Amino acid sequence: MKTVSLKIDDSIFGETEKILAHLKKPRNRYINEALEFYNRFQRRKLLEKKLKKESEMVKNESMSVLKEFEAIDYAD
């Protein structure tokens, strides 16, 4: 495990402490779970962005191929 020192806004820290009191969960565990959740969220956003880009590339290529086929059809 790595040790990390961080500064947290007072309002976020206060809210976190209130939640932790109800959950009966160590602060360290709570922060680890929050980071894990946020990392998954960010990975999904990155994947979505990549898939949109690749989908656009495929769409453009498909349109190009379609135009070539149409040109062949009309040539007959």
What pLDDT is recorded for position 73? 65
Residue the block writes with tokens 């453009």: 60
Q: What sign has the CA pseudo-torsion 51, 53, 54, 58? A: positive
Average pLDDT over residues 3-26: 95
- How do the domains of the chain map onto residue ranges? 10-75
Give the separation between CA 1 and CA 70, rounded to whole angstroms: 61
pLDDT digits 0-9 by tens, 19-67: 999 999 999 999 999 999 999 999 999 999 999 998 888 887 888 888 8
| pLDDT at residue 75 greater than cutoff 70 | no
Is residue 54 packed enough to be buried (19+ CB in 10 Å), middle (13-18) or exposed (0-12)? exposed
What pLDDT is recorded for position 14? 97
